[in-house]
Amino acid sequence: MIKTGDLLPEATLHEYSEGHNACPIGPQAFSLHARCAGKRVVIFGLPGAFTPTCSQRHVPGYLAAAPELFAQGVDEILCVAVNDAFVMNAWGKTFPVQGEVAMIADGNCAFTDALGLAQDSSARGMGRRSQRYALLADNLVVRRIEVDAPGKLDVSDAQRMLDFLRDQDGA
């Protein structure tokens, strides 16, 4: 499993793009390293779009905290799930995420596997998914990683990330 001080693994992820003039472009692949190089980025992963804890607490917590996260020097907030870009786009439309949280698809679980954070949710009919986590990367180096126990949202929430950033800036 990835840990503090490790380099983020390179991965190709996908994000749905609406394009210009409301003309949909569709899923766009991007290099995680290219997108995050030279930036301070919060990445939080969760089991799946439209799931109860993810929809009612995890994403809304990061949306509410986004202005303060940005004020603490975070350049971008990425929400990653093992879903396709169409699903992540549709889920993002149920929140006011525009410009605050990017809804990122790890459809083949490759990034999640590279982090060592995949879990088997087949017993619940969900297949392979991500564990719930949050990490802070600064120029691709992991500065903090928190992984929740299965079924919990105790350590990967936005408030814990804010507390960590405040402590770092105050140190």
Cα radius of gyration (the chain) = 15
What is the distance between the alpha carbons of residues 56 and 134, in angstroms, rounded to a whole number?
17
Options 23, 36, 54, 79, the catalytic residue: 54
Q: Quick check: is 109 catalytic? A: no
Side-chain-facing half-sphere of 27: CA atoms under 13 Å: 15
pLDDT of residue 19: 65
Residues 6+ positions from 29 with CB-CB distance below 8 Å? 12, 13, 14
What is the distance between the alpha carbons of residues 15 and 85, in angstroms, rounded to a whole number?
5
How confident is the prediction along the chain (171 residues), in pLDDT tens digits per residue? 999 999 999 999 999 987 666 667 889 999 999 999 999 999 999 999 999 999 999 999 999 999 999 999 999 999 999 999 999 999 999 998 888 999 999 999 999 999 999 998 877 777 788 999 999 999 999 999 999 999 999 999 999 999 999 998 655
